[in-house]
Structure 1
């Protein structure tokens, strides 16, 4: 059954979204949840079902959020004693943080860059790192590849939306190369056919898009793209699940439940991207393109999801910490330093206050082999 998606369009202040975090010191000590978490109800009748409102940065439900949708539609949320009652979508990577800060959503899905500064953090923590590697890819349009990222000075870079995490990334890359980040111009080009039209009209010199959107563009585009090597920035974490620290401490089972459900959804989507896309389209019909053949769109969306699934891989994490949801303090610290160098973060929240790994073990309390088998055998 198609779900009602609450699409909130706002011109300014508080947007309904989800937040996530990054930053800090080089290590975070292991600790125990401040409140005992009884997970004995996993897979059984839950004594309490926690209702959770989640928000994200997009105009329509993006394919990259498929693990959350799969988790709700296939019962992983219910099995984890949570119910995702609303998904609030607004374009712009910074909006999720605002949503969590204002209390409009319980949980957010931001890029850590928009949580790191002491002026914007407001006690929000990343409790589940979803994308263990950077999801943004940078490419120039045709011609000779860049030999130095400083060459982006004076160029126009196409991004998905205002407030996209691609903007601080590109500015940081230019600053890291010794250039002036303020000399880079940005133009919103959207996604899919809209982005392709802007590229074909030579409205931009380069594009900085998420891996999912970049895959879609490459499938539609005739002009060759030249990938830009972004170096160590490729290892910085991207979207996370975030919540106020007080919420995490007060409702650990609710937080553990949504983290566990998401981890299960990730396993399913990694195993069978095409099935995940079909589930997404059935739950959110407006996420399916209105133009083009259904078969071609299904192929492109599945390819986009497959591209994204590489960023969920646990092998990006240190040995002994390869668990779904784990936030690596070293990567968060490196990302913070990168953004501080370009002046985008003036004063940073310590990593130990920005990330919370207390509940990670509970996110991983499920049989991944059973989920993979379910994904392999799934039929429309």
Structure 2
């Protein structure tokens, strides 16, 4: 097993490693911008396949390295600077950045969260019943660089409402976020489902408020790469995302074993101060909804792992134009087809998915 170094936070640390070779033992290390800044088993949809029992990456010449980031903005800077090979693409952040800076030549190549995993949570007795009620409220987000701000603006814009009177307050994760909600420092929180599940685990009672109808139908997680890399090393990108697709199917079919595989590959992420059984129960709760969001909806006309559509990117542009208050966004971006590509998708999906499901059922560690 390869020894992975903690790259830490900050572009300064990344700059120190920029000169390291991306190849080792004929395996290209594909560095990912990890915007949650922590490597834990919720990432088993990617990491499970690194374990020798599965070995979904190395036989095809690639492996994955996590590089911790503090925000989406930092991830985009790192992609542009070549510090990482791929990273998350959140339309509300990516599209305005690309419109403002034509030199930010990124392309979305894989959709890893085909269902919407964003949530709105409030205290059980809160008067907030719908997304419209968020207007003018104090909204809790993980950090000031978190996508919860953009998501709130997007939903309010869909409803024809403004967020100019909203106050966005960074409340962190877990217990601190729970305390902020319990003590009425915020009226609501907008975050990913895994973040709010962690708040529930510390004892804070939450009520989930429905997302706006149009936004709820969109996916919530894509991966982008520099266009230059797509042109120069298509083979490595196919191998990388096929490994992620296999890991995703495996993890959805057998989450307990996927968690064990993650811990085996990244022993530093094993629980400290509590038993693995306790940690496993917590993770099962945190990932109870997320594991299904990894997979496409049964009614999705395109069941290929990772595929995007022109319709969804047009919708992303429209909603981002409203949330960013830039009516010229579509014009500035130009042809929406340049934002994403499905050119890798058929090759990524060229494997027996049922064989991976059966492997997940049969594997014994």
Q: TM-score, normalised by structure 2?
A: 0.86
Corresponding residue for 2:33? 55
| Displacement of 1:379 | 3.1
C-alpha change, 1:297 and 1:365, in structure 2 (3 Å) is same
- Bigger shift: residues 132-141 or 338-347: 338-347
What is the CA deviation profile of residues 304-359 of structure 1, one whole-angstrom value per residue up to 9, with x for unaligned ones? Answer: 2341122222236742x210010122112112211111225552433200101001
| Displacement of 1:151 | 2.4
Corresponding residue for 1:374? 359
Q: Is the CA contact 1:132–1:235 (under 8 Å) kept in the aligned structure 2? A: no
Aligned positions, number: 348
Corresponding residue for 1:195? 177
C-alpha change, 1:240 and 1:3, in structure 2 (3 Å) is farther
Matches within 5 A, 1:126-205: 126-144=108-126, 146-205=128-187
- Bigger shift: residues 195-204 or 344-353: 344-353
Corresponding residue for 1:69? 47
DSSP 3-state at the match of 1:182: coil
| Displacement of 1:247 | 1.1
| Displacement of 1:288 | 4.0
Q: Which sections of structure 1, spanning at least 5 residues, go unmatched? A: 17-46
What is the CA deviation profile of residues 159-214 of structure 1, one whole-angstrom value per residue up to 9, with x for unaligned ones? Answer: 12232111111012223323321211112222222322222222211011211122
C-alpha change, 1:201 and 1:9, in structure 2 (3 Å) is same
Q: Is the CA contact 2:198–2:286 (under 8 Å) kept in the aligned structure 1? A: yes
| Displacement of 1:94 | 2.9
| Displacement of 1:58 | 1.5
C-alpha change, 1:168 and 1:317, in structure 2 (3 Å) is farther
- Bigger shift: residues 323-332 or 112-121: 112-121
Q: TM-score, normalised by structure 1?
A: 0.83
Q: Which residue among 82, 85, 93 is the counterpart of 1:103?
A: 82
C-alpha change, 1:81 and 1:2, in structure 2 (3 Å) is closer
C-alpha change, 1:316 and 1:103, in structure 2 (3 Å) is farther
Corresponding residue for 1:29? none
User: Equivalents in 2 of 1:272, 1:300: separation in Å?
Assistant: 16
Q: Is the CA contact 2:89–2:108 (under 8 Å) kept in the aligned structure 1? A: no
What is the CA deviation profile of residues 7-58 of structure 1, one whole-angstrom value per residue up to 9, with x for unaligned ones? Answer: 4322899899xxxxxxxxxxxxxxxxxxxxxxxxxxxxxx964332222101
Q: Is the CA contact 1:68–1:262 (under 8 Å) kept in the aligned structure 2? A: yes
Which gives a bigger RCO, structure 1 or 2 (Cα 8 Å, sep 6+)?
A: 1
C-alpha change, 1:139 and 1:48, in structure 2 (3 Å) is same
Q: Is the CA contact 2:109–2:224 (under 8 Å) kept in the aligned structure 1? A: yes
DSSP 3-state at the match of 1:314: coil
Q: Is the CA contact 1:2–1:285 (under 8 Å) kept in the aligned structure 2? A: no
C-alpha change, 1:234 and 1:340, in structure 2 (3 Å) is same
Corresponding residue for 1:339? 320
What is the CA deviation profile of residues 218-269 of structure 1, one whole-angstrom value per residue up to 9, with x for unaligned ones? Answer: 2333434242332221222222221111210111101111110000000111
User: Equivalents in 2 of 1:184, 1:48: separation in Å?
Assistant: 51
| Displacement of 1:373 | 2.0
Indicate the RMSD between aligned Cα atoms, in angstroms. Answer: 2.6
C-alpha change, 1:90 and 1:363, in structure 2 (3 Å) is same
User: Equivalents in 1 of 2:299, 2:342: separation in Å?
Assistant: 13
C-alpha change, 1:64 and 1:109, in structure 2 (3 Å) is farther
User: Equivalents in 2 of 1:60, 1:228: separation in Å?
Assistant: 28
Matches within 5 A, 1:81-100: 81-84=61-64, 86-100=65-79
Q: Which sections of structure 2, spanning at least 5 residues, go unmatched? A: 17-24
